[in-house]
């Protein structure tokens, strides 16, 4: 997704916070440095910083990172504009986190393998990697080709309301959902702005990820299905929350 098109709307649009205590707890539990991947505008970063952590935050979008920079002080975090597939670090971090199912945005198998390998190389020996993805069975329930409004919020410009609608389809052969997300700003009953962005994300299976993690030098420590650490249930869990450790078992 081209996040630069709607970076100015992201924080008003996304009010999810159920994962914050989980990530804070995981990062406070290690004694070394924290790497936050695909950090975006700093939704998670801000909470880590509030809890005394000083994460290194990576994202490929300068527009998203500009908002992260505005939200936090320069002393409280380190910002790196880079692709998660090509991280400029070597054995540097005790823990890497990749929140908000963003691993699913790496649509090709090759991209996902390259990213896993790149994250492993960034970790200290036996460092941890918490990688989050959608659970396919759960996520597919809300995939439909009919455009439908998924959320609405007051426009951050102060004029009117923004409606977010999505239309998408699943290609089972590729394991990829593609479609369009549209941000429509309505003021006094008139459409005053419309931004349409192509959406594409993949839905790898539990077996695919477990094998890819192993092939790229990780051991699976745990798999949760939600941020309350409940056991993963293929039918009902919203997420895959993979807790990996660098190195073979
Ligand atoms: C859904 S947002 C999540 C942002 C933030 N982690 C959060 O929880 O709100 C996904 C982020 O991943 C970034 N991104 C997408 N592909 C990337 C890549 N290959 N390398 C680094 N960042 C990437 C986007 O720029 C965007 O900021």
Residue 158 has a pLDDT of 92
- Contact present, 43 and 55 (Cβ < 8 Å): no
Cβ of 55 less than 6 Å from ligand 1: no
- How big is the CA angle at 23 (ends 156 and 120), to the nearest 5 degrees? 110
Ligand 1 closest atom vs CA 1: 15
Residues 89 and 43 in one domain: yes
pLDDT tens string 14-34? 999 999 999 999 999 999 999
Residues 47 and 126 in one domain: yes
Cβ of 68 less than 6 Å from ligand 1: no
Give residue 63's pLDDT band: very low, low, confident or very high (50, 70, 90). very high
Residue 249 has a pLDDT of 81
In this structure, which residue's CA is closest to atom 25 in ligand 1?
A: 61
Ligand 1 centroid to residue 39 C-alpha, Å: 6
Residues 172 and 106 in one domain: no
Residues 118 and 219 in one domain: yes
Give residue 209's pLDDT band: very low, low, confident or very high (50, 70, 90). very high
Ligand 1 closest atom vs CA 84: 20
DSSP state of 51: T
Rounded to whole angstroms, the Cα distance separating 30 from 93 reads 10
Residues 76 and 185 in one domain: no
Cβ of 164 less than 6 Å from ligand 1: no
Residues 222 and 154 in one domain: no
Residues 100 and 32 in one domain: yes
Instruction: Identify the three-state secondary structure at position 72.
Output: coil
Ligand 1 centroid to residue 80 C-alpha, Å: 13
Residues 111 and 184 in one domain: no
Residues 83 and 108 in one domain: yes
Residues 129 and 147 in one domain: no
Domain total of the chain: 2
What is the residue range of 152's domain?
138-202
Of 108, 62, 111, 105, the C-alpha closest to 199 is: 105
pTM, two decimal places: 0.97
Ligand 1 centroid to residue 245 C-alpha, Å: 22
Residues 97 and 75 in one domain: yes
Residues 58 and 10 in one domain: yes
């Amino acid at each position: 997704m081209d996040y630069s098109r709607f970076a100015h709307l992201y924080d008003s649009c996304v009010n999810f916070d159920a994962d914050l205590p989980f990530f804070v707890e995981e990062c406070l539990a290690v004694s070394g440095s924290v790497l936050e991947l695909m950090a975006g505008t700093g939704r998670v970063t801000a909470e880590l910083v509030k809890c005394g952590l000083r994460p290194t935050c990576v994202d490929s979008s300068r527009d998203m990172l500009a908002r992260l920079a505005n939200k936090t002080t320069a002393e409280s975090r380190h910002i790196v504009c880079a692709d998660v597939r090509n991280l400029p670090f070597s054995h540097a971090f005790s823990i890497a986190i990749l929140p908000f199912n963003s691993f699913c945005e790496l649509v090709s198998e090759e991209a996902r393998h390259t990213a896993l390998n790149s994250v492993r190389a960034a970790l200290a020996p036996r460092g941890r990697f918490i990688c989050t993805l959608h659970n396919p069975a759960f996520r597919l329930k809300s995939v439909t080709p009919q455009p439908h409004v998924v959320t609405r919020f007051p426009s951050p410009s102060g004029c009117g309301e923004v409606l977010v609608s999505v239309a998408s389809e699943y290609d089972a052969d590729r394991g990829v959902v593609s479609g369009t997300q549209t941000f429509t700003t309505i003021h006094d009953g008139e459409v005053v702005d419309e931004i349409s962005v192509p959406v594409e994300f993949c839905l790898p299976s539990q077996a695919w990820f477990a094998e890819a993690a192993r092939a790229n030098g990780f051991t699976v420590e745990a798999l949760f299905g939600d941020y309350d650490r409940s056991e993963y249930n293929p039918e009902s869990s919203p997420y895959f929350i993979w807790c990996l450790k660098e190195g073979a078992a």
